[in-house]
Structure 1
Amino acid sequence: MSGPPITELSDRAREIFRATVEAYLESGLPVGSRTLSKLPGLNLSPASVRNVMQDLEELGLLAAPHTSAGRMPTDFGLRLFVDGMMHAMEPSSEERAAIEARAGAAGSIEEALSNTTAALSGLSACAGMVMVPKRELVLRQFSFVPLSHDKALAVLVGEDGSVENRVVDLPPGMTGSSLVEAGNYLTAALSGATLAEARDRITRQIEVERNALDVSARDLVERGIATWTQDGEDRPVLIVRGQARLLDEAASDDLERVRQLLDELEGKREIARLLDSAREGEAARIFIGSENKLFALSGSSVIAKPVRALDGSVVGVVGVIGPTRLNYARVVPMVDFTAATVARLLG
């Protein structure tokens, strides 16, 4: 939808528009002309305010959800407000400390990312999200745990203490001793290597040492490495935390919208694509309601910021998702700060 830039509105219209949007973002409820007329400094009667609000509605900036109710900003009106009128509020020292403390907690890099995302969710009252490339895991130990006669659990332990598991099919005639032999062989051969290095190294070594392993153990070694290297080595890590925060009091009258939003959050592939579209540019990108097809039905907004390494390359995206009435002025700088924190984490 097209409409006038904010500079083309009269001073009175701009002031009433700003007051309407700010009151709506604070309460989540339509704003009436009588409420606005009582604001200090406006000095207008309810009738005068109502006339201006009617003009703003005709311009597509405000909408009346019910005949007798007040008005609320449209998605287009929110876009105009965010781009031309919003005054950002920097995170407080307490908020910055909370994010940094969670990021600095002991554990693997994914645990730190999860903790940081949870902190952002709690401070913003939104669901927090972070997407980073699948990190090159450095191997420390590899073992196989039997599950049945034809299945085993391949257990990979990384140098950072992280543990990943995958179920693998066992070749016919696999014995317990062959499982141990395959695990020991992989640990000895691949300790200190990344998965990419492991794949190349194991291919060469099996050719050279074909007689060092029995047939079933050699087959399992190859399957074990293939399990990870064929498991989407370029797949990004997407962490979503704080979905329960979307179930606030204002959402109680619109449970269908919330149900739709929670369903959308389950579709992580689409969310990953949305976050990936925010990689370009330096500033946070804001998707408001119907501007994005993914969240058009649930009426939600996404704020996303690319995470940049020291050389300027994009190494991830941090964001939040919440109702369109979220406090953009407060949350946008918070996402900016979290993106900078995650950049330091990924080093």
Structure 2
Amino acid sequence: MLDDRAKLLLKALVERYIADGQPVGSRTLSKASGLELSPATIRNVMADLEDLGLIVSPHTSAGRVPTARGYRLFVDTMLTVQRNQLVAPELAPEQPQKVIANAAQLLSNLSQFVGVVMAPRRTSVFRHIEFLRLSERRLLVIIVSPEGDVQNRVIFTDVDYAPDQLVEAANVLNAHYAGLAMEQVRERLKTEVERLRGEVAALMQAAVSVGSEALSQAQDEVVISGERNLLSVSDFAGDMHNLRRAFDLFEQKTQLLRLLDVSSQAEGVRIFIGGESQVVPFEDLSVVSAPYEVDGQVVGTLGVIGPTRMPYDRMIEIVDITSKLVTNALSHRR
């Protein structure tokens, strides 16, 4: 447990380091904290904070910088967020994919770091299917999800279907199977195929196969915007190794998905500080995230990824407001 004086000095040190990016010495800390303390007293408190693993002294400087543990204590107990200071543009209630892309860009623009949004989770249910003949034995299958997402897939067929056969197959699927998961449709087609003409049944089964693949691929997609912003962050500019690791994280997306999935299980804004867990294994990266909803149900997560030395109060406000904007945009279009 820290006494009030130690807490105030730690808070001042973290805030000064976030603002300047330079190790904080005792003289600077004395001015920043506003406390009437001698340099020797401040040095003693800093030594105690260092013993507790909350700050560390880079070998090239006499000043101190926060550790992941120090940031965590600051974020959990000392951070005050000024609400309603941020003006953010509304997100228009468009197709979900467009809303998600716009949200990632908005997060990036407002934060000047990296914006990430996990697309809404869906079941592989279709609302509508159409067939379009592209050429002989080559068809475009157009699949519309209940959320309004449109997936297009090209299939190659054994026979050249006539226009009336394409219409018949689409009509049967839309009339009898819309609203069901593709797996259910596939099972029902196996038992009901006798009452359908052979060619049409084969076409419907092919459509269900590519439809299931298309809708499952659309799930758990992570949209990322603003990766290049990290190039201008001083914490990364001179460290190509850390930059490469960060860009690998964005490219692979698997770890990002795991992180965002964890975030979706909690209410409100969550902060993951680099190095304190396996969720964010990079010392110099932090993630501020929040879930968003559609009609009262959590369906995805969004957030900002940036340097550990980020203005957390502003990032919390940006993420919180963007999650509300996405919730409104996706809920209002239904």
TM-score scaled by length of structure 1: 0.80
Q: Which amino acid aligns with 1:77?
A: G
Q: Does structure 2 conserve the Cα–Cα contact (< 8 Å) formed by 1:290 and 1:296?
A: yes
- Which of 269, 274, 278 aligns to 1:284? It is 269
Please name the residue that 1:272 is paired with.
257
Q: Tell me how large the CA RMSD over aligned residues is.
A: 3.1
Please name the residue that 2:325 is paired with.
341
CA distance in 2 between counterparts of 1:60 and 1:129 reads 31
Does 2:99 align with 1:112? yes
SS in 2 for 1:283: coil
SS in 1 for 2:324: helix
Q: Does structure 2 conserve the Cα–Cα contact (< 8 Å) formed by 1:306 and 1:316?
A: yes
Please name the residue that 1:16 is paired with.
9
- Which of 130, 134, 142 aligns to 1:141? It is 130
- Which of 261, 279, 287 aligns to 2:246? It is 261
Deviations 1:278-311 (A, max 9, x none): 2333232211111232432353111222224555
CA distance in 1 between counterparts of 2:190 and 2:271 reads 49
Indicate how the Cα distance of structure 1 residues 245 and 259 shifts in structure 2: closer, same or farther if over 3 A, else same: same
CA distance in 2 between counterparts of 1:182 and 1:20 reads 73
Give 1:79 deviation, angstroms. Answer: 0.5
- Which of 293, 296, 314 aligns to 2:278? It is 293
CA distance in 2 between counterparts of 1:242 and 1:119 reads 10
Indicate how the Cα distance of structure 1 residues 158 and 273 shifts in structure 2: closer, same or farther if over 3 A, else same: closer
Give 1:231 deviation, angstroms. Answer: 4.7
Deviations 1:6-47 (A, max 9, x none): xx3233322211111001112333222232233372334444
Q: Which amino acid aligns with 2:320?
A: D
Q: Which amino acid aligns with 2:316?
A: V
Please name the residue that 1:203 is paired with.
189
Please name the residue that 2:110 is paired with.
123
Indicate how the Cα distance of structure 1 residues 92 and 224 shifts in structure 2: closer, same or farther if over 3 A, else same: same
CA distance in 1 between counterparts of 2:211 and 2:274 reads 38
Q: Does structure 2 conserve the Cα–Cα contact (< 8 Å) formed by 1:116 and 1:338?
A: yes
Task: In structure 1, list runs of 5 or more residues that go unmatched.
Answer: 1-7
Give 1:194 deviation, angstroms. Answer: 4.0
Q: Which amino acid aligns with 2:322?
A: T
CA distance in 1 between counterparts of 2:154 and 2:214 reads 12
Give 1:335 deviation, angstroms. Answer: 1.5
Indicate how the Cα distance of structure 1 residues 179 and 330 shifts in structure 2: closer, same or farther if over 3 A, else same: farther
Task: Map 1:311-322; keep pairs closer than 5 Å.
Answer: 311=296, 313-322=297-306
SS in 2 for 1:236: coil
Does 2:233 align with 1:240? no
Q: Does structure 2 conserve the Cα–Cα contact (< 8 Å) formed by 1:127 and 1:242?
A: yes
Q: Does structure 1 conserve the Cα–Cα contact (< 8 Å) formed by 2:129 and 2:142?
A: no
CA distance in 1 between counterparts of 2:164 and 2:253 reads 38
Q: Does structure 1 conserve the Cα–Cα contact (< 8 Å) formed by 2:193 and 2:201?
A: no
Q: Which amino acid aligns with 1:134?
A: R
CA distance in 2 between counterparts of 1:255 and 1:171 reads 50
Give 1:258 deviation, angstroms. Answer: 1.8
Give 1:240 deviation, angstroms. Answer: 2.0
Give 1:237 deviation, angstroms. Answer: 3.5
TM-score scaled by length of structure 2: 0.83
Q: Does structure 2 conserve the Cα–Cα contact (< 8 Å) formed by 1:275 and 1:304?
A: yes
Moved over 6 A (4+): 158-161
Give 1:62 deviation, angstroms. Answer: 0.1
Indicate how the Cα distance of structure 1 residues 270 and 167 shifts in structure 2: closer, same or farther if over 3 A, else same: farther
- Which of 273, 287, 296 aligns to 1:302? It is 287
Indicate how the Cα distance of structure 1 residues 190 and 330 shifts in structure 2: closer, same or farther if over 3 A, else same: same
CA distance in 2 between counterparts of 1:218 and 1:263 reads 45
- Which of 61, 67, 77 aligns to 2:54? It is 61
Please name the residue that 2:66 is paired with.
73
Does 2:83 align with 1:85? no
Q: Does structure 2 conserve the Cα–Cα contact (< 8 Å) formed by 1:199 and 1:225?
A: no
Indicate how the Cα distance of structure 1 residues 180 and 156 shifts in structure 2: closer, same or farther if over 3 A, else same: farther
Deviations 1:173-213 (A, max 9, x none): x33xx2756643343334483462796398279625433x5
